Amino acid sequence: MTTAPARAQRFTDRRVVVTGAAGGVGQVVAGLFREEGARVVATDVAPADGVVPCDLRDDSARDGFVADALAELGGLDVLCNVAGIQQFAEIGKLTPDGLRRHFDINALAPLMLTQAFAEALVASKGNVVSVTSISAVMGQPYNAQYCASKAALLLGMRSLAVELGTRGVRVNCVSPGGIATPMIEAAAAGLPADANWDLVAKSTSVIPGFMPPVDVAESLMFLASDAAASITGANLVVDRGVVW
């Protein structure tokens, strides 16, 4: 039996916060940081082992989580904003509540977390990596609320990259295509029965199928590492080749 080689210890004693860590990309990336020597505080609204429960839409709960994380870690080197939601909805099914929920979780929460952790990141010359989406830069049918919220996150993070870059903090994004997670399965429930699959197929990748979460997680690890020391304000697209 062969043994997998040990991972490089790129994050020994680095202090890391990961959101959306109960499953999918967040769970994988939190595990990889720990494998590489980091001290990790992970959070999610869903309960899971090694995860601090927090509803990031709740201002008080979010502020409390930040205070507790800083107290536990004694500072911060890396913030990974992974938490997000997606629910397909055709135009007639869009609601103010649905739009607010997407913006609160996908855009407002990561921007406010970055603000809350900013001084700690300045002190450590740390960095922020946020999961946006290819949906942030392309129109997709039945996906207006997700596309709009991810576009807000992408441009918000690029703006913060300009502000924080002068203080030694890098801010980057990873934009995945389709990932094999329960979130995409749940999102598909919102597709209309008469969905126009010719339109949906416009965002099909040249390498077939959804990606495993680890493919996206490894991209986050790279941007968070010292190997990306001269990269900021970037949007790393990981989508198996959505070229149309």
- CA pair distance 176, 156, nearest whole angstrom: 17
Residue located via tokens 């990889």: 32
Q: Exactly one of 14, 146, 160, 236 is catalytic; name it.
A: 146
What φ, ψ does residue 43 adopt, rounded to 5°? -140, 160
DSSP H or E stretch at residue 147:
helix 144-165
- CA pair distance 171, 234, nearest whole angstrom: 8
Active-site residue 142, yes or no? no
- CA pair distance 126, 14, nearest whole angstrom: 9
Burial 44-82 (b: 16+ CB within 10 A, else e): bbeebeebbebebeeeeebeebbeebbeebeebbbbbbb
Look up residue 205 and give its DSSP letter.
-
Residues assigned a catalytic role? 146
